[in-house]
Amino acid sequence: IRGLNESDAIDLELEAGQISIHQERTVHGSLGNGSDRARIGLAYFYMPAHTRSTLGRRRATMIRGVDRYGHWDADRLPQHDLDPVSIEELKAAWKAYQDRGFSQSAETTPQ
């Protein structure tokens, strides 16, 4: 990464079971997972409704307001815990994410 000053880096060691919450562009990393338990990553992207995906049509959940632009397909909200339809949609979304090689970006259009 150009312009990265490693002398500004800080060590943040987490205990087993702890989480790190940081902005998506924060440079971060760790050694390999030596345990028999999965290491889980979770990403949320909050953006204005006028934002378009550079990867084509994608699904999104509207957090508030009204989508006046229609750039995203609305997620179906689960009807109950472990809703099988929602679980299948989640699996399909994850597969599409994996098939794209973890490449994500977005561009904005003027309002």
Can you spell out the DSSP letters for 28-47? -------SSS----------
Report, as ranges of residue numbers, the positions in the chain whose pLDDT lies below 70.
97, 99-111
User: What's residue 48's pLDDT?
Assistant: 92
pLDDT of residue 105: 46
pLDDT tens digits, residue range 92-111? 888 876 765 544 444 444 44
Q: What is the pLDDT of residue 104?
A: 44
The pLDDT, as a whole number, for residue 26 is: 85
Query: Per-domain residue ranges for the chain?
Result: 32-111
Model pLDDT, residue 21: 86
DSSP codes, 86-110: HHHHHHHHHHHHHHTTT---EE---
pLDDT on residue 79: 96
What's phi and psi for 84, nearest 5 deg?
Answer: -60, -35
55: helix, strand or coil: coil
The structure's pTM equals 0.56
pLDDT for the residue numbered 106:
43
- Closest C-alpha to 27, from 39, 10, 51, 44: 10
